[in-house]
């Protein structure tokens, strides 16, 4: 049967071309090349056994067969919308309470900013968001879901990689104008360096050059408060070591043109009890989407400097961002 082998994505391309009256315009919308879009339309025409467009130098126009297909695509879109609404209605019946424990940076400034969308979709799920460093709370039912910075070994804990934090240098424009921008990590010695207490203890996770430099760095300020660290940096107090996603959330700070100092992986953890719960499943799937590295490249395994990330995921937030503390077990 045709339906078993039919490439339904070609209909999306067809609709965009038909609406734009142009292969080139549709290609820009799709982020593809014009030859690629043209090839996909040719494949669709070959699969259906008919011409769908009349080509000319001015663009494309639907043939009679193309117009019939466009009508059918419109009907299909209406059916998809109906199905989506019905699925959303079924989602809204999911109820329960889920406690999530996450560090102050990820919890307060990443998870919290995405929480309204989750609650709009699933209004009957109550989220208890606790801020703090998590370890094995899910085993003792002190949390249903926890974000941890070391993969747990407890046999009852289920863990999934959630993303990677890339720590790098930030400073205010005023500070850099006065003191200059460090061109290498070794030039940190000539700057006021601000860092988080937990990060200082992550020596084994630092890059090799930073480990060698550690004994020579004269920290201006070490604090266990992410808020204090951010405030110091915003008020021209020095170069602060913070996760790369600070660039997403604060327009007032400049990401230094230097590589990541330390990639720190983190996991979402839970138990079988939560995985068998509808509300738990919904919360797990939501958190996985919130840290999806395709949509949110700040958390990809490979470090992407903020200046390389051109497709930002939503508007930047003004105001403060918290650095993410990371604590190693002794």
pLDDT interval class at 310 (50, 70, 90): very low
Tokens at residue 294, please? 């395709």
pLDDT at position 248: 85
Tokens at residue 78, please? 């209406």
Distance, in Å, from the CA atom of 273 to the CA atom of 275, rounded to the nearest integer, reads 6
Distance, in Å, from the CA atom of 295 to the CA atom of 323, rounded to the nearest integer, reads 21
pLDDT (average), residues 161-174: 92
pLDDT at position 315: 45
pLDDT (average), residues 170-192: 89
Beta strands in 87-212 (DSSP E): 96-102, 125-131, 145-148, 158-172, 193-196
pLDDT at position 91: 55
At how many degrees (to 10) do helices 64-92 and 112-121 cross? Answer: 100
SS (H, E, C) 124-150: CEEEEEEECCCCCCCCCCCCCEEEECC
Distance, in Å, from the CA atom of 243 to the CA atom of 291, rounded to the nearest integer, reads 14
pLDDT at position 213: 57
| Choice between 1 and 11, residue whose per-residue pLDDT is larger | 11
pLDDT at position 79: 79
Distance, in Å, from the CA atom of 2 to the CA atom of 9, rounded to the nearest integer, reads 14
Q: What is the CA radius of gyration of the chain?
A: 25
pLDDT at position 209: 54
CATH number of 99-330: 3.40.190.290
Tokens at residue 161, please? 């990689």
pLDDT at position 325: 36
Q: How far is CA 99 from CA 109, 142, 159, in A?
A: 17, 8, 16
pLDDT at position 273: 93
pLDDT at position 202: 59
Q: Which tens digit of pLDDT belongs to each residue from 93-106?
A: 788 999 999 988 88
pLDDT, the chain, mean: 82
Lowest mean pLDDT among 62-76, 165-179, 308-322: 308-322
Q: List the domain boundaries for the chain.
A: 2-91, 99-330
Distance, in Å, from the CA atom of 211 to the CA atom of 304, rounded to the nearest integer, reads 22
Backbone dihedral angles phi then psi of residue 152, each to the nearest 5 degrees: -75, 155
Contacts of 299 (CB under 8 A, 6+ apart): 162, 163, 164, 165, 245, 291, 293
Alpha carbons within 13 A on the beta-carbon side of 231: 7
Distance, in Å, from the CA atom of 270 to the CA atom of 213, rounded to the nearest integer, reads 38
Q: Rounded to two decimals, what is the model's pTM?
A: 0.65
Lowest mean pLDDT among 142-151, 215-224, 318-327: 318-327
**Angle at the Cα of 47 (from 19 to 43), degrees rounded to 5?**
60
Lowest mean pLDDT among 78-82, 169-173, 179-183, 226-230: 78-82
CATH architecture of 2-91: Orthogonal Bundle (1.10)
Identify the helix (H) or strand (E) that includes residue 88: helix 64-92
Alpha carbons within 13 A on the beta-carbon side of 209: 9
């Amino acid at each position: 049967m045709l339906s078993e082998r039919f490439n339904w994505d070609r209909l999306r391309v067809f609709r965009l071309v038909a609406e734009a009256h142009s292969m080139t315009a549709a290609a820009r919308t799709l982020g593809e090349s014009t030859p690629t879009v043209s090839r996909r339309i040719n494949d669709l025409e070959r699969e259906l056994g008919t011409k769908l467009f009349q080509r000319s130098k001015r663009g494309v126009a639907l043939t009679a067969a193309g117009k019939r297909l466009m009508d059918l695509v419109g009907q299909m879109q209406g059916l998809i919308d109906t199905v989506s609404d019905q699925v959303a209605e079924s989602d809204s019946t999911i109820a329960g309470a889920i406690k999530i424990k996450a560090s102050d940076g990820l919890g307060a400034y990443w998870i919290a900013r995405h929480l309204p969308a989750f609650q709009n979709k699933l209004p009957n799920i109550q989220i208890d968001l606790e801020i703090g460093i998590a370890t094995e709370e899910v085993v003792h039912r002190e949390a249903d879901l926890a974000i941890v910075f070391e993969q747990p070994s407890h046999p009852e804990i289920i863990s999934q990689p959630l993303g990677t934090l890339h720590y790098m240098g930030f400073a205010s424009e005023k500070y850099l104008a006065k003191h200059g921008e460090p061109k290498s990590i070794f030039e940190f010695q000539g700057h006021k360096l601000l860092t988080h207490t937990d990060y200082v203890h992550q020596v084994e996770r630092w890059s090799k050059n930073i480990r060698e430099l550690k004994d020579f760095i004269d920290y201006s300020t070490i604090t266990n408060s992410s808020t204090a660290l951010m405030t110091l940096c915003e008020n021209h107090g020095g170069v602060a070591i913070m996760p790369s996603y600070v660039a997403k959330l604060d327009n007032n700070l400049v990401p230094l043109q230097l590589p990541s100092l330390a990639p720190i992986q983190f996991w979402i953890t839970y138990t079988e009890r939560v995985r068998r719960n509808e509300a738990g499943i919904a919360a797990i799937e939501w958190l996985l989407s919130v840290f999806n590295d395709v949509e949110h490249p700040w958390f990809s395994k490979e470090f992407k400097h903020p200046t390389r990330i051109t497709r930002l995921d939503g508007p930047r937030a003004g105001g403060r961002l918290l650095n993410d503390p990371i604590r190693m077990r002794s």
